[in-house]
Chain A
Amino acid sequence: MNVFVELRAARLTLAAGVMVRALVWGASAALTVVAGAAAVDVATPLSLDVRSRVLGVAIAAGMATFVALGWRDRSVLSARRVALWVEEQFPSLEYALVTAVESGEPRFVQGTSTDRWLVVARRRVARALRTPSAAFAVAVIVLVVLPSGAVARVRSPHAGDSLERRPASRSGRRNRLAPLVAELAPPAYSGQRASTIDEPSDVRALVGTRVTIRGRGDGASVVAIAGPDTLRATTTADRWTVSLAVGTHPLAVRFRDEANARIVALEPIADDAPTVTLVTPPHDSVLRAATGRIALTADAGDDIGLASGAFEYIVSSGEGETFTFRSGTIGATRLAGKTASLTASIRLDSLALKPGDILHLRAVARDGNTVTGPGIGTSETRAIRIARPDEYDSLAVDAAAPSDAEKGAISERMLIMLAEALERQRPRLTRDTLLRESHGIAVDQKKLRRTVGDIVFTRLGGNPSAEESTNDENPQRAKSIAELLQRADSATNRSIDPMDFRGDESPVVAVNKPLLEAYNAMWDASLSLELGEPDRALPHMRRALAAIQRARQAERLYLHGAPPRVVIDLDKARLKGKDKGSSSVRRALTVSDSADNARADRFARIIELAARDPGAAADSLLLLRIDALTGAPAFAAALGDAAQAMRAGKGDVATAALARARRALAGVPVVHDSLGRWGIVP
């Protein structure tokens, strides 16, 4: 036989041996990882997360072993190295085979016997496979010896398989409340898939979710106390079951079985009502006429799913004490998905709106909640008002007989006309005639001035003509409006400083100020007229007329919308001088953070309990969490973490969670930007 053919056969045998050995070692490594994880899981349960990774780690270990060994023995593929190995097994060759392989000349090994080369190679392979085969067998035996279900928990881990794990201790096997598995079946309308939780302590689920708690063994003595209800477990095939629904309020379910007890908190997740935004019309409006069409657009969204949407309108008619209302719905449509748009339009003509009517529009969306709903979300309301024909004037003017001020204005205008005519005739008149005519106008001007003075003083509460009737030519007359007002004020004792008014706080001053301006302007006009100087009197007379016009406007214009301002005279209402007694026993308002204080007290007691009985403290933390879910969600979240960590025996995690809970309970610290009043350093 050709030497090279024999050498090739030996090389293939050795290579196959190397491959098989690497494969067996790799399989042994993978099985060892699985068996090791299963053995650890028997002693102390591994989490689903860890178990889910074991299979991957085992395959990786097997592959790595296989590749490493194959790489280490890769020289088996080399003909020269195999030739050297054959030379080592048959020293009589004296390197003839190596020389033949390197030179490619078979003549160097001509006549050499090759009968035993393949036999020796097969023996070497068999010897090399002995150890890995033994290791593989041991791993298989360990897997077989492990308790039932242990390998399955590692091989195909899934939520809820904790019931398949056999506890290591006898006490653990007697406790029917550990392990527990919760199967959650959300309400059908949500479209969510069912899920399973191992060892539940705090179950968060949508309201209406059916929670089925399963345990191991006979459940004849197992009861679940859920609020006022006591539920008995049902047993099927060595598994007990308690089923209950997640309500709208957090609930602590206490499981009891002989000497064992356990709490599972059910924390409801509320299905929020849809959010609706009215896009068009974008703002309130006033329409001149109730015709045409208004486009309606709205966007709706929901956390679970929308079911329907529509636009609602209300038409309010009337005013004062008499209102009538009509309402209706338009654009109703079925919706699907978490977001949707609503569109519709409304014809104003069809609503038969009258002037003054108000059309209130909003969008409404409903979700598919068949448990606590449907949740109804509404948008902001837009008000479309139909204008009244008489509201285009922003001010209302009441028709009334001319007031005294108006009569004065007519007279002043007549006096101005007389003075202007006299001024036009002045070049043709003698001095005496001019003085006589001018003096006559001055007398009328004084009468008119007295009338204006009467109006002012009457309003200020004084005696009419009190000033003028004493001495018309009194040089001590008021020289300014302020002085006149002060005199008027001192006569009526109304206030200390009548000019010290702000804004429109004193309607008396506001109305009388222009009249007082007219009053003084008329005085100056009458002086000039008495001197026969109508040209100098005219500017004062025109100023008086303008002031009277302002007074007239001030009296006749009333702004809408200002409610009457009534200031209660408290002394008068209390009949000042009556016996002072405590008319009512008043107690201080309860401080708003009383709930926080109660939580803080409970929290402190639980911390004390944790040192003595961590299990009871974890249960107490769960109960406190249930109470705090609504009022202090951050605090409740930290308590949940702490309870879980305490149950898992993770002291450092529990401590950190408790510290977080304490900070959440204390609230956000108040930060002052600067020193307060008491902290000012001189």
Chain B
Amino acid sequence: MSTEFVFATAQYESGDWDSAPLVPPNIIDTIARYTEIAVAPTGVIVALSDDRMLRYPLLFLTGHLPVRFTEAERRNVRRFVERGGMLFVDDHNHDIDGTFHKTATEEITRSVGPLVELPNDHQLYTAFFKFDGPPTTSHELNGWGDNLVHRHLLAVMRGGRIAVLYSSKDYSSEWNYHPDSKRFLSVDNTRFAVNIVVYALSA
């Protein structure tokens, strides 16, 4: 059995789950750059309705369209969280009142539990790099979407740890570029992904 971390993207039936195909390789590249975590060079795509989704400690879910889980998807998400997995949901619409936000938060609440604001001094923000809260994305500041800077991420807590991390900050757009293009950035904007992965693997 492989002990290396495999970045898994969640595939669900109702929406465009593959809207940010370059996020997984970008995060894998970031993990390799900054940590010694044994990481697989490619990510995997796993259907939420497939029991194999339970093999991965962290699942990344994004999209623009309404999120309506099937009963099998809902059941597996519940099992995944109960087994200690962490689901990272990011709204690719970079807005707060859009349909993805409404439907995804409704499904999460129904499947796992209510989302609460994650305090900005939570362990997640110091799990590897130190942040004072969720890093701002360029999409929050460019006049698109709701034109808001979201001060907090949302989370469903289980046993003192984050079971579901929900972001309206559109990291899916922020991180959706080829890893080779990181050299053009003065500050790597994917560093927060390291915190998410390290937290999911260790907390």
Contact = CB atoms under 8 A, between A and B. Distances in A.
Interface of A: 314, 316, 321, 323, 325, 327, 358, 360, 362, 380-381, 383, 561, 563-570, 573-575, 580-587, 589-590, 592, 594-595
A358 B15 CA distance: 10
A563 B18 contact: yes
Interface of A is mostly: loop
Given A381-B68, A583-B35, A314 B99 contact: yes
A585 B98 CA distance: 39
Given A563-B18, A583-B35, A584-B35, 6 more contacts: A564-B22, A568-B25, A568-B179, A573-B29, A580-B36, A586-B201
B26 to A, nearest CB: 8
A586 B21 CA distance: 29
Contact of A567 (B41, B84, B128, B198): B41
Interface residues of B, number: 40
A385 to B, nearest CB: 11
Contacts of A570: 32, 39, 41
Nearest to B160: A590
Contacts of B201: 586, 589
Interface in B175-203: 178-179, 198, 201-203
A568 B41 contact: yes
B35 A567 contact: no
Contacts of A380: 68, 70-71
The 4 closest A-B pairs by CB, nearest first: A563-B21, A381-B68, A566-B25, A573-B32
B84 A564 contact: no
Contact of B84 (A323, A563, A592): A592
B186 to A, nearest CB: 18
Given A381-B14, A573-B33, A573-B179, A584 B68 contact: no
A590 B159 CA distance: 10
A314 B66 contact: yes
Contacts of B99: 314, 316, 323, 325, 327
Interface of B: 14, 18, 21-22, 25, 28-29, 32-37, 39, 41-42, 57, 64-66, 68, 70-71, 82-84, 93, 98-99, 103, 127-128, 159, 173, 178-179, 198, 201-203
20 contacts: A314-B103, A316-B65, A321-B64, A325-B66, A360-B66, A360-B68, A380-B68, A381-B66, A383-B14, A565-B42, A566-B178, A567-B25, A568-B32, A574-B32, A583-B37, A584-B36, A584-B37, A584-B128, A589-B57, A595-B159
Contacts of B32: 568, 570, 573-574
A314 B36 CA distance: 45
Of the candidates A568, A581, A582, A594, the one having the most CB atoms from chain B within 10 angstroms of its own CB is: A568
B73 to A, nearest CB: 10
Contact of B21 (A360, A564, A574, A580): A564
A298 to B, nearest CB: 15
Contacts of B179: 566, 568, 573
Contact of B83 (A360, A383, A573, A592): A592
Nearest to B106: A378
Contacts of A321: 64, 173
A587 B22 CA distance: 29
B37 A325 contact: no
Nearest to A571: B32
A321 B66 CA distance: 14
A570 B31 CA distance: 9
B65 A323 contact: yes
A251 B84 CA distance: 27
Given A380-B71, A590-B84, A323 B128 contact: no
B84 A589 contact: yes
B93 A323 contact: yes
A296 to B, nearest CB: 16
Contacts of B84: 589-590, 592
A583 B66 contact: no
Nearest to B45: A563
A568 B42 contact: yes
Contacts of B93: 323
Contact of B202 (A314, A381, A584, A592): A584
B68 A587 contact: no
Given A380-B70, A570-B41, A325 B98 contact: yes
Contact of A586 (B64, B65, B202): B202
A589 B65 CA distance: 34
Contacts of A362: 68
A563 to B, nearest CB: 3
Contacts of A316: 65-66, 99
B68 to A, nearest CB: 4
Of the candidates B37, B57, B202, the one having the most CB atoms from chain A within 10 angstroms of its own CB is: B202
Nearest to A382: B68
Nearest to B139: A321
A441 B37 CA distance: 63
Nearest to B182: A573
B42 A566 contact: yes
A585 B128 CA distance: 9
Contacts of A573: 29, 32-33, 179
Contacts of A592: 82-84
Nearest to B197: A584
A451 B177 CA distance: 37
A526 B203 CA distance: 70
Contact of A566 (B14, B22, B34): B22
Given A586-B201, A592-B84, A358 B41 contact: no
Contacts of A575: 33
Contact of B42 (A323, A561, A567, A574): A567
A461 to B, nearest CB: 19
A384 to B, nearest CB: 13
A137 to B, nearest CB: 71
A582 B65 contact: no
A567 B180 CA distance: 11
Of the candidates A561, A584, A595, the one having the most CB atoms from chain B within 10 angstroms of its own CB is: A584
